[in-house]
Amino acid sequence: MASITCPSAASIFTVILVTFDRYLAITHPFRYFNIMCGSVVGICIGGPWLLACLIGFLPVMVHSFRVENYQGLCTFFAVFQPTYTLVVLCVSFFPVFFVFLYFHCRLLKIASLHIQHIRELEPAGLPATCPTSQPPNDTKALRTVAILVGCFAFSWTPFFVVSIAQIACQRCYLHGLLEHYLWVLGVCNSLANPLVYGYWQKEVRLEIYQMCLCLKNKIFPLFHSDSQPDAAPTQPEGPLYIISLAQLKD
């Protein structure tokens, strides 16, 4: 079961890591590259996975977290004690969710202050209201934050809420709902975040476009060359002579 718990916890911690990276890049733009050196990046990448592995293999190290002498089907709530589920909830969800919410609220506040300063520095001669096809930047920032926080809450909250209900009511059989549906919904948050970032950021869209274009240039010539393997080589054409109408009459 550690192979299920570890990736799930690592997925949640990676979301926080990406959020912290964006927060650091916005709050300290001139010191960002000095802070995020190679060793720090390595720690930031390996740290969440080490913590996730520690959480996943905790029942192996602490015998009171697992059910002894269990011979049935190996499922999450069947082999683990309720105390282990509470530890996972208290370590990998509730603190992470509040930190995630705090960072995005701070990012939204900083973005709003930047937009306000830019508006104050605009030339006074420009019209105050001019029609634009796109929504204001602060509205776009609020929408992005709402989507990211909403995706995280929508993906993982049902799993942990139903898990608490299962712990409180041992006679309620909610294992199938948790393990077959709600856990998959939580893991889908790892797919939703790249899609949100890729849709709202031009740099990510441009990078994806360049990757697709490079892949197209590498793959399509192979199909084009294989489609005509027996084509006869073209003979070089002879010299082209231009004859005028007067020469024909002569």
| Residue 132 pLDDT exceeds 50 | no
| Residue 227 pLDDT exceeds 70 | no
The answer as to whether 101 is a domain residue is yes
The answer as to whether 179 is a domain residue is yes
The two three-digit tokens of residue 133, written as one number: 């096809």
Residue indicated by tokens 């990078």:
207
User: What does the pLDDT look like over 53-89, one tens digit per residue?
Assistant: 888 888 778 777 777 776 666 666 667 777 777 777 7
Terminal-to-terminal C-alpha distance of the chain = 96
For the residues 219-237, what does the mean pLDDT come to? 54
The answer as to whether 52 is a domain residue is yes
Please say whether the dihedral angle defined by the alpha carbons of residues 6, 8, 14 and 19, taken in this order, is positive or negative: negative
CB atoms < 10 A from the CB of 185, how many? Answer: 14
User: What does the pLDDT look like over 187-204, one tens digit per residue?
Assistant: 787 777 777 767 766 777
Alpha helices of the chain — where are they, by DSSP H?
2-27, 32-35, 38-56, 58-61, 76-79, 82-92, 94-120, 137-168, 175-177, 183-187, 189-200, 202-227, 245-249
The answer as to whether 45 is a domain residue is yes
pLDDT at residue number 74: 67
- Can you give the CATH number for the domain in which 97 is found? 1.20.1070.10
**Structural domains counted in the chain:** 1
The answer as to whether 116 is a domain residue is yes
The answer as to whether 96 is a domain residue is yes
Q: What is the dihedral of CA 217, 223, 226, 232, to 10 degrees?
A: -70
Tell me the whole-structure pTM to 2 decimals: 0.62
